[in-house]
Amino acid sequence: MSLLPTIFNATQLELPRFKDLDEGVDHVLGYVKDYSDGLDEAEVYIGKRWKEVRDDVNFQENVLHVFQQGGTYLRILEGDISAGSWELNLGGLVLKFAGKHELYELAFVNDDFFILKKHGDQLSKGHKKYFFMARENLARGKEWTDLLEILFSLYKENSNYLAVVFLVVIVGAIILFFSLF
């Protein structure tokens, strides 16, 4: 019965304050990772306008990333388009842009969020751990903390569903028990 308190308390969970986006993503992924699609399900992320999200107050640019069918990658900075390419290879997503080839591993993807993790130990080099993108319409006007709350709500909503299913099963079992005796 230890599942019961977990299910019913999930809707009341609040996210703590995070010092940065990486810490927040680490925390939230612990809850929502099971709800992620895979990189092989390209229809989830291809052809969408993904807005880059950072926790740097000095980052005020509007940067969009578009992964197109056939491997074309577009980076749109304040309306200026630069092209590169992408491919699924080496167990992740290889992004070729501006003369660089970078390997990213999937952290999470669904219709609203696309979170990649650059291979290697980025923190020891002073770089961010995650490349965090959200669907442009969702991210517009929101801070990274708001977006983490939205991502976390995926877990809370699914936990509500589990609670209802659990209650239905219990009520069904009780009715069955009393109807047999």
For 70-82, the DSSP string reads TSEEEEEETTEEE
Q: Does position 35 have pLDDT exceeding 80, yes or no? A: yes
For 114-154, the DSSP string reads EEEEESS--GGGT--SEEEEEEHHHHTT--HHHHHHHHHHH
Region of poorest pLDDT, from 37-51, 87-101, 166-180: 166-180
Longest dimension (CA), the chain: 75
Looking at residue 46, the DSSP 8-state letter turns out to be B
Condensed to tens digits (0 to 9), the pLDDT of residues 81-127 reads 999 999 999 999 999 999 999 999 999 999 999 999 999 988 888 88
Looking at residue 110, the DSSP 8-state letter turns out to be S
Domains, in order of start, for the chain = 3-180 (2.40.128.640)
What is the value of pTM for the model shown?
0.79
Instruction: Report which of residues 178 and 18 the model is more confident about.
Output: 18
* End-to-end Cα distance, the chain: 24
Q: Which of 98, 75, 99, 97 is nearest to 86 (CA)?
A: 97
Mean pLDDT of the 29-58 span: 94
- Contact between 137 and 164 under an 8 Å Cβ cutoff? The reply is no
Structure tokens at 62: 């509007």
Give me the pLDDT at residue 107, please. 98
Condensed to tens digits (0 to 9), the pLDDT of residues 64-93 reads 999 999 999 999 999 999 999 999 999 999
Instruction: Report which of residues 156 and 50 the model is more confident about.
Output: 50
Q: Does position 18 have pLDDT exceeding 70, yes or no? A: yes
